Amino acid sequence: MGSLQGKSLDSYRLVVWLGAKNRFGARYFRVFLQNASGKLSAKPVMLGLFNQGSHPSYNWIEVINFRPRLSFGTVEAALDISAGGLTRQLFQYLANLIPPGGHLMFEYDSPAGQETARSLALGIPPVATPLGYMMFLIGCEAGFKDWYFAESGSEGPRKLQGYKALNREQAQLRAGEIVKELKDFLSRPASLPESALEKAARQRAHEIISRCQLQTGD
């Protein structure tokens, strides 16, 4: 996680603060942005946990809170990293830290995740939601799990979990499963009138199917 220190995000730099370990051994982290004058964002862009281990599944990152709109406590205009592709770049930095077989978990309880929350509530496949599509694009697409409720009271906010494929064979297998799930989704009747969420999800579904078919050679 410390390797993110100083990485660029447009004209800003990432500043990573590592914290204590939780009772399971995962370590807390915060990521701030630093502007060109050296001023840190008033609040972190993300708060999370990361874990490392010898088994592939022991390697994961969980983003507990994501805040794309940031202030630097000056007359400088607030920064919204959801514009201009900066969110994807930040997500990609995280995904690059996760080895094959690991996973990324990202909350959708904050205001930034509400479109994903509403999409999941409508029965839209996780990969076709805004957050799931982002995970697909950054390589955490080999299966999804929706943590929509806390099973023992300690899982934190609702979150979407995206896995990295362990190898090429698994990647191709999962791609085929995603195509089937999305074709089933596209074949079901849309609501009348079709909601903006459904329309956007269907557009993502077509894009994902095309990408998966290129991967599998279908």
Cα Rg for the chain, rounded, in angstroms?
Answer: 18
Q: Are 108 and 117 in contact (CB under 8 A)?
A: yes
For residue 78, give the DSSP letter: P
Residue 103 in this model has a pLDDT that exceeds 50: yes
Convert the pLDDT of each residue in 62-87 to its tens digit: 999 999 999 987 666 788 998 778 99
Residue 185 in this model has a pLDDT that exceeds 60: yes
Provide the CB-side half-sphere exposure for 117 (13 A, CA). Answer: 14
**pLDDT at residue number 152:** 46
Helical segments of 61-127, H only: 86-97, 114-121
Q: Specify the amino acid at residue 163.
A: Y
Average pLDDT, the chain: 90
Residue 29 in this model has a pLDDT that exceeds 90: yes
Q: Specify the amino acid at residue 13.
A: R
Average pLDDT over residues 177-182: 95
Residue 136 in this model has a pLDDT that exceeds 80: yes
**pLDDT at residue number 148:** 81
Q: Which domains are seen in the chain, by residue range? A: 2-166 (3.40.630.30)
pTM over 0.75: yes
Residue 195 backbone phi and psi in degrees, to 5: -75, 160
Residue 192 in this model has a pLDDT that exceeds 90: no
Lowest mean per-residue pLDDT among 23-27, 32-36, 149-153: 149-153
Structure tokens at 91: 């997500």
**pLDDT at residue number 54:** 87
Helical segments of 55-106, H only: 86-97
The dihedral formed by the CA atoms of 188, 175, 215 and 210, expressed in degrees to the nearest 10: 20
**pLDDT at residue number 216:** 65
Convert the pLDDT of each residue in 33-56 to its tens digit: 999 889 999 999 999 999 998 898
For residue 84, give the DSSP letter: T
